[in-house]
Chain A
Amino acid sequence: MSTEAESPSAGFFTSQLNDMIGWARKYSIFQYPFVTACCGMEYMATACSHYDVDRFGAGLPRFSPRQSDVLMVVGTISHKLAPVLKQIYDQMCDPKWVVAFGVCTCTGGFYDNYATVMGIDTIIPVDVYIPGCPPRPENVLDGLMKLQEKIQRQPSNEISKGGLAQH
């Protein structure tokens, strides 16, 4: 993964174009809140007026994978639901990002049983991990800002290969 300055085909205009597209993408996030459990309460708290998420441009949730670009996996994912989550991720169009919200999605949380997926990064690639049980809204907004930095850095023609592959 090379930055724009090192790539031989990059020039001044392409890097400016990438910056502009990155700027446009990061301030118009259409999230898909895949909410299953208690973290949904903190997601709602972040989205509502006190800790407003609309001021970051991310205030319009689209409850369809075809119409969204950030998949926010909120709450515990069980093995019964895991194929559904994979299908939802596959149905989203590029560019797409995934946010693992809460420890249950990051690593399985305090669960270690026959039913829980121990971290959704075993199924789909994750870009930002927001730990907490549940994470405070300030924590969520911090994660959202880190995601925005990541979106800004990403070259505009790059296809999503996965969280680890992106810089």
Chain B
Amino acid sequence: MILEKVKEKFLDDVYETYEFRGDLVAVVNKEIVRDAMKFLKTDPSFDFSILMDLTAVDYLKMERTPRFDVVYHLYSLAKNHRLRVKAGVDEKDLAIDSLVPLWPIANWFEREVWDMFGIKFKGHPNLKRILMYEEFKGHPLRKDYPYNKRQPLVGPKN
């Protein structure tokens, strides 16, 4: 029911909607992400008040064309329904709109995605590393970063 309403509101920009093991998923165009989230948050029939999670997936090994997927998990406190929104982000234009004006928690989530994957968020007030240190080069959770490549600040390269 939610998915149909999302589909009819945003028409072509919603690429597909499906349900996976009880979770409703909508795959959208990354250009409309901010408008779609604003609509989902403010519209009284949806009322998604909480951004539960904001993360990203790297599909390099599966050789998919938008290499990254930014995934949002939304939850409505009043209505008790959930939605997962995915937006594909390609390597050529590694940027997507920031959701900081809507939910303040997106600030740290987006910093983590920038630190781990290198996806820039347009309009983010303070986009810098949050888990790794500033001297670290590279984005560690990408599939082409070797998992045990350490860049020590002190001590030998162990």
Q: Which of A109-147 contact B (CB under 8 A)?
A: 112-119, 122-123
Q: Which of B114-142 contact A (CB under 8 A)?
A: 132-133, 140
Judge whether B140 and A114 touch: CB under 8 Å. Answer: yes
Interface presence of A55 (CB below 8 A): no
Residue total for B at the interface (Cβ-Cβ under 8 A) = 15
Interface presence of A92 (CB below 8 A): no
Residue total for A at the interface (Cβ-Cβ under 8 A) = 15
- Chain B residue nearest to A79 (CB atoms) is B152
How many contacting A-B pairs (Cβ < 8 A)? 43
Interface presence of A50 (CB below 8 A): no
Q: Is the interface of B mostly helix, strand, loop or mixed?
A: loop
- Chain B residue nearest to A116 (CB atoms) is B150
Q: Which of A72-116 contact B (CB under 8 A)?
A: 79-80, 82-83, 86, 112-116
A142 to B156 CA separation, bound complex (whole angstroms): 30
User: In the complex, which residues of chain A have a beta carbon less than 8 angstroms from the beta carbon of B132?
Assistant: 80, 115
- Chain A residue nearest to B152 (CB atoms) is A79
Within the complex, which residue of B140, B148, B149, B154 is in contact with A82, where a contact is CB–CB below 8 Å?
Answer: B154
| Interface residue ranges, B against A (CB under 8 Å) | 132-133, 140, 145, 147-156, 158
| Interface residue ranges, A against B (CB under 8 Å) | 79-80, 82-83, 86, 112-119, 122-123
What 3 pairs across the A-B complex have the smallest Cβ distances? A122-B155, A123-B155, A80-B133
